[in-house]
């Protein structure tokens, strides 16, 4: 390698002024141009100037691509900077020229950091990392990186010290980050699944609400839940005879056992029948009335979980529930995925009956908007307000040192804000 980096300085002329002022188009074009060239995108940030013009950068594993546009001249200046030999920045040059409908472009390539002129310094990060900072004794942070989960309008960013696990499984990208504010965090396909610091909210609410209102639960089925948090809470109910958990992706379980031990602690529990399989297939093959409670602890309706958000699947869940059976699902955020949220309740009411489907809310800081919902669908007499006697609930909460759930909060969670009531009618 004669030089540390390649820097292509690009000028695009006679471009479409509209495209050079379309920040969404420019960001997508720059990201596609990076990936097509073989780069791995880490993060990107773009700014739309007033009254016009865009500036932005895509940070890639192999350095960066940057752009500034002058729509009023149909002109854009671009820097394509790459390290190593795995990325061909000229692929990006041509893709962007087409994407901005440039009349013509010119480019010059510079070698940056000629090795002949460089001498390696004595720079040992590991030694630095082990050094304790004088002020607060915390380890010196040698990496300060932002993880960002975002859709086209909303984003959540968390600072982290690096990735502890990163595997592309047969179903999804499984990653674990060591975040500074929320401890270790599991993400699937770039979406936050659970963090050590706020997981108890989700896991206590998706489990104790149904298990402390069902008349006599004996057999529980968990669909998904690969991090193990739902199983951990379910298994705190000692009166249960069997808990079956069907998780499609063994890499999620591996990552959680390795890096989220407090969440995954019950995945080897003797009462847990852990099955690696597609939950849809398992439910289709299960016998009528064979479960008192089915908890669908799935990801969002994408990838392997898409089929878990279908009428057919819910009808099958209804079939395998016992007479007083309950189905509990994470039902997304009323604010973040309003369309899916509304559809979910319409569908459930079509299967379980208008008055047998209830919604309850919880505050999960690392989920989009922080407001998350759960659905409570009853096949028989079970009702969310038929909570066990308060002293019994209080004793359970105390004995298990629950950190979010309690009897008052249980009732409050079903008291919905007006805008949510309007959404689900
Ligand atoms: N609390 C998280 C949330 O609300 O987004 C979900 C956590 S849990 C990790 C979700 C699990 O569902 C993942 O491990 C994923 O692999 C699993 N999953 C997705 N589709 C599935 C399917 N068809 N059958 C079984 N498990 C599935």
Mutate to test the pocket of ligand 1, among 247, 306, 314 (most ligand atoms within 8 A of CB): 247
The mean-pLDDT minimum among 46-60, 137-151, 254-268 falls in 137-151
DSSP symbols for 377-407: EESSS--TT-PPPHHHHHHHHHHTT-SS--H
> Going by C-beta distance under 8 Å and a sequence separation of 6 or more, which residues neighbour residue 6?
80, 81, 82, 83, 89, 109, 110, 111, 112
For residues 361, 362, 363, 368, the Cα torsion angle rounded to the nearest 10 degrees is: -60
CA 225 to ligand 1 center in whole angstroms: 5
The mean-pLDDT minimum among 224-238, 300-314, 391-405 falls in 300-314
Mutate to test the pocket of ligand 1, among 226, 244, 284 (most ligand atoms within 8 A of CB): 226
Give residue 315's pLDDT band: very low, low, confident or very high (50, 70, 90). very high
Instruction: Give the model's pLDDT for residue 300.
Output: 86
DSSP-based helix, strand, coil % in the chain, nearest 5: 30, 35, 35
Q: Which atom of ligand 1 is nearest to the CA of 206?
A: 1
Give residue 225's pLDDT band: very low, low, confident or very high (50, 70, 90). very high
CA separation for the pair 124, 33 (Å, rounded):
34
Whether 251 shows a pLDDT value over 70: the answer reads: yes
Indicate whether residue 224 lines ligand 1 (CB < 6 A): yes
Mutate to test the pocket of ligand 1, among 248, 283, 309, 361 (most ligand atoms within 8 A of CB): 248
CA 223 to ligand 1 center in whole angstroms: 7
Indicate whether residue 223 lines ligand 1 (CB < 6 A): yes
Indicate whether residue 299 lines ligand 1 (CB < 6 A): yes
Indicate whether residue 332 lines ligand 1 (CB < 6 A): no
| 54 contacts 46 by C-beta, under 8 angstroms | yes
DSSP symbols for 57-100: EEEETTEEEEEEEEGGGTEEEEEEEEESSS--HHHHHHHHHHHT
The residue whose CA is least distant from atom 26 of ligand 1 is: 224
Q: Which atom of ligand 1 is nearest to the CA of 279?
A: 24
The residue whose CA is least distant from atom 2 of ligand 1 is: 193
Nearest to 219 by CA among 322, 328, 319: 322
Query: What are the pLDDT digits (tens) for 335-387?
Result: 988 999 999 999 999 999 999 999 999 999 999 999 999 999 999 999 999 99
> Going by C-beta distance under 8 Å and a sequence separation of 6 or more, which residues neighbour residue 347?
311, 314
Beta-carbon count within 10 A of 268 CB: 10
Query: Rounded mean pLDDT of 241-250?
Result: 98
Query: 3-state class of 196 per DSSP?
Result: coil
Residue 355 CB-density burial (10 A; 0-12 exposed, 13-18 middle, 19+ buried) = exposed
Rounded to whole angstroms, what are the CA distances from 42 to 5, 9, 34?
Answer: 18, 22, 11
CA separation for the pair 349, 358 (Å, rounded):
9
User: Radius of gyration of the chain from Cα atoms?
Assistant: 26
pTM metric for this prediction = 0.84
Query: What are the pLDDT digits (tens) for 69-110?
Result: 999 999 999 999 999 888 999 999 999 999 999 999 999 999
> Going by C-beta distance under 8 Å and a sequence separation of 6 or more, which residues neighbour residue 352?
318, 327, 377, 378, 379
Token pair, residue 210, equals 């149904």
Query: Rounded mean pLDDT of 22-27?
Result: 94
CA separation for the pair 265, 196 (Å, rounded):
12
Instruction: Give the model's pLDDT for residue 42.
Output: 85
Query: What are the pLDDT digits (tens) for 143-199?
Result: 668 898 988 888 899 999 889 999 999 999 999 999 999 999 999 999 999 999 999
Q: Which atom of ligand 1 is nearest to the CA of 193?
A: 2
For residues 351 and 425, the model is more confident at 351
| 413 contacts 359 by C-beta, under 8 angstroms | no
Task: Say what percent of the chain tops pLDDT 90.
Answer: 84
Indicate whether residue 298 lines ligand 1 (CB < 6 A): yes
Indicate whether residue 263 lines ligand 1 (CB < 6 A): no
Token pair, residue 62, equals 């192999």
Whether 206 shows a pLDDT value over 80: the answer reads: yes
CA 176 to ligand 1 center in whole angstroms: 15
Q: Give the catalytic positions in this structure.
A: 297
| 139 contacts 28 by C-beta, under 8 angstroms | no
Indicate whether residue 260 lines ligand 1 (CB < 6 A): no
Nearest to 224 by CA among 146, 303, 127, 288: 303
Mutate to test the pocket of ligand 1, among 192, 224, 252 (most ligand atoms within 8 A of CB): 224
Query: Rounded mean pLDDT of 390-408?
Result: 97
What is the layout of strands, in order, in the sheet containing 219-224?
A: 272-276, 242-247, 219-224, 291-297, 321-330, 371-378, 357-363
Instruction: Give the model's pLDDT for residue 161.
Output: 87
DSSP class of residue 19? G
């Amino acid at each position: 390698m004669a030089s540390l980096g390649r820097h292509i300085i690009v000028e695009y002329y006679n471009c479409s002024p509209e495209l050079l002022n379309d920040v969404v188009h420019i960001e997508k074009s720059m990201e596609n141009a990076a990936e097509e060239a073989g780069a791995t995108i880490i993060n990107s940030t773009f700014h739309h100037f007033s009254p016009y013009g865009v500036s932005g950068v895509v940070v890639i594993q192999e350095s960066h691509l940057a752009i500034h546009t002058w729509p009023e001249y149909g002109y854009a200046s671009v820097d394509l900077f790459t390290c190593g030999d795995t990325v061909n920045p000229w692929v990006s040059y041509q893709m962007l020229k087409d994407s901005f409908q440039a009349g013509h472009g010119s480019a010059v390539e510079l070698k940056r950091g000629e090795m002949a002129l460089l001498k390696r310094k004595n720079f040992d990060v590991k030694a630095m990392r082990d050094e304790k900072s004088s002020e607060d004794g915390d380890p010196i942070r040698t990496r300060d990186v932002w993880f960002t989960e975002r859709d086209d309008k909303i984003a959540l960013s968390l600072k982290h010290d690096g990735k502890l696990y990163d595997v592309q499984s047969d179903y999804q990208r499984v990653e674990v980050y060591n975040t500074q504010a929320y401890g270790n965090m599991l993400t699937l396909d770039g979406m936050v699944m659970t963090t050590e610091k706020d997981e108890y909210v989700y896991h206590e609410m998706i489990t104790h609400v149904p298990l402390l209102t069902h008349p006599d639960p004996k057999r529980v089925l968990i669909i998904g839940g690969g991090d193990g948090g739902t199983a951990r809470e379910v298994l705190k109910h000692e009166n249960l005879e069997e808990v079956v958990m069907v998780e499609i992706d063994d890499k999620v379980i591996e990552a959680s056992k390795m890096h989220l031990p407090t969440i995954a602690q019950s995945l080897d529990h003797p009462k847990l029948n852990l099955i690696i399989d597609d939950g849809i297939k398992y439910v289709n093959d299960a016998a009528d009335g064979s479960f008192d409670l089915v908890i669908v602890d799935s990801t969002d309706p994408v990838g392997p979980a898409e089929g878990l958000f279908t009428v057919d699947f819910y009808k099958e869940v209804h079939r395998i529930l016992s007479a007083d059976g309950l189905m509990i699902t994470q039902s997304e955020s009323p604010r973040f995925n309003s369309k899916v949220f509304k559809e979910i309740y319409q569908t459930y009411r079509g299967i379980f009956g208008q008055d047998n489907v209830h919604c309850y809310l919880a505050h999960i800081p690392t989920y989009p908007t922080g407001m998350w919902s759960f659905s409570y669908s009853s096949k028989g007499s079970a009702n969310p307000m038929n909570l066990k006697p308060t002293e019994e609930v209080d004793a359970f909460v105390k004995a298990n040192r629950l950190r979010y759930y309690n009897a008052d909060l249980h009732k409050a969670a079903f008291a919905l804000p007006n805008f949510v009531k309007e959404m689900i009618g």
